[in-house]
Amino acid sequence: MTTSTQIQLVSRPVGTPTPDDFATVEVELPDLGSGEVRVRNEFVSVDPYMRGRMSEAKSYIPPFGLGETMTGGAVGRVVESTSAALPVGSAVLHGDGWRDLAQGPARHFSPLPETDLPLSVFLGAAGMTGLTAYAGLKRVAGMEEGDVVFISGAAGAVGSIAGQVARKLGASRVIGSAGSAAKVALLKEKYGYDEAFNYRDAPVRKQLREITPDGIDVYFDNVGGDHLEAALDRLNRGGRAALCGAISQYNNTERTPGPDNMANLVKNSLKLEGFIVGQHQDLQAEFAAKMTGWLADGSVVFDETVVDGIGNAVRAFLDMMGGANTGKMLVRP
């Protein structure tokens, strides 16, 4: 028998999760059945949406079960196989993260192309993260050439790619917010943002007003709360907001007050639309062709914050929720 180290949810967090809400367990894997594969995960993704799955609240995706191994994006290579479609050595993308070894029917694992890019990019810039940025800007916000774009959480996994995609789509000016001076510098020096500010320095509303004298046309929201309120103040007539996440509120235990300037939606004919990347899978082929080219020629760059050891996956998740990552947060089992 082969043993897999896995992370399970053992209690539903109230407020900010703690390590006591999780358990690291050893699970014995059975022998492979016909048409099955065993995969050694090389990288496992931890993402903000997983916080919602730790709650029993109704959402667009079922909650994690208590006492069950959690799931999420992962990439790895096949180490054992009874499937002709996925021989040993095949690189695959799949949904059985939070463990070092994954096993199941070959149809549950998607083969990845062999490229010079590291496998990890298929969890980040060339994966769900990048597609989120692309779909949110192009389709949900309907970004047009010449638009002024503001992106919150701009140094995170989605934000760091979204700023560069906005530039590729013809934005005239790209503005971002981040949580430290070092991240603000990174936005301007590496990710091509024209302007950026540290949301901890002063009220977001004040800083965004000062940095956008002519307003903004598109807002890509990863944060919610005071960032959304500030954006509603600055969106020009006909402005559009793609609402991707609200990480500032995920651990709240009390109802969060709404923005005090919702009347601007009527006054300025604004459009706010929430979206889930899974609703836009039809853009995958178009996006993948463009993004792999941009990554290959170096015109889009990416960062990863990698934590080693599947036993440290919970710490990686908690650090990511606290903003400790630059770019995509990954666990290397």
pLDDT in tens, the chain (333 residues): 799 999 999 999 999 999 999 999 999 999 999 999 999 999 999 999 999 999 998 888 899 999 999 999 999 999 999 999 999 999 999 999 999 999 999 999 999 988 888 999 999 999 999 999 999 999 999 999 999 999 999 999 999 999 999 999 999 999 999 999 999 999 999 999 999 999 999 999 999 999 999 999 999 999 999 999 999 999 999 999 999 988 878 777 677 777 999 999 999 999 999 999 999 999 998 998 999 999 999 999 999 999 999 999 999 999 999 989 999 999 999
Q: Interior CA angle at 201 toward 200 and 203, to 5°?
A: 80
Dihedral pair phi/psi, residue 185, rounded to 5°: -60, -40
Burial class (CB in 10 A: 0-12, 13-18, 19+), 275: middle
pLDDT at 252: 73
Q: In what order do the strands lie in the sheet with 216-221?
A: 195-198, 173-178, 148-151, 216-221, 235-243, 271-274
Q: Would you tell me how many other CB atoms lie within 10 Å of the CB of residue 113?
A: 10
Going by the DSSP 8-state scheme, the letter that residue 192 receives in this structure is -
Radius of gyration of the chain measured on its C-alpha atoms: 20
pLDDT at 253: 67
Going by the DSSP 8-state scheme, the letter that residue 121 receives in this structure is G
pLDDT at 22: 98
Alpha-carbon gap, residue 119 to 126, rounded angstroms = 10
Which neighbouring-strand residues pair with 147? none
Alpha-carbon gap, residue 96 to 108, rounded angstroms = 9
Report whether 83 contacts 316 (CB < 8 A).
no
Cα torsion 225, 228, 229, 230 to 10°: value is: 120
pLDDT at 122: 95
Alpha-carbon gap, residue 105 to 163, rounded angstroms = 38
Burial class (CB in 10 A: 0-12, 13-18, 19+), 19: exposed
Burial class (CB in 10 A: 0-12, 13-18, 19+), 104: middle
- Quick one: how far is CA 6 from the chain centroid? 22
Report whether 151 contacts 175 (CB < 8 A).
yes
Report whether 150 contacts 231 (CB < 8 A).
yes
The pair of three-digit structure tokens given for residue 327, joined into one six-digit string: 């770019």
Which residues 6+ apart lie within 8 Å of 230 measured at CB?
203, 204, 205, 207, 208, 209
pLDDT at 114: 83
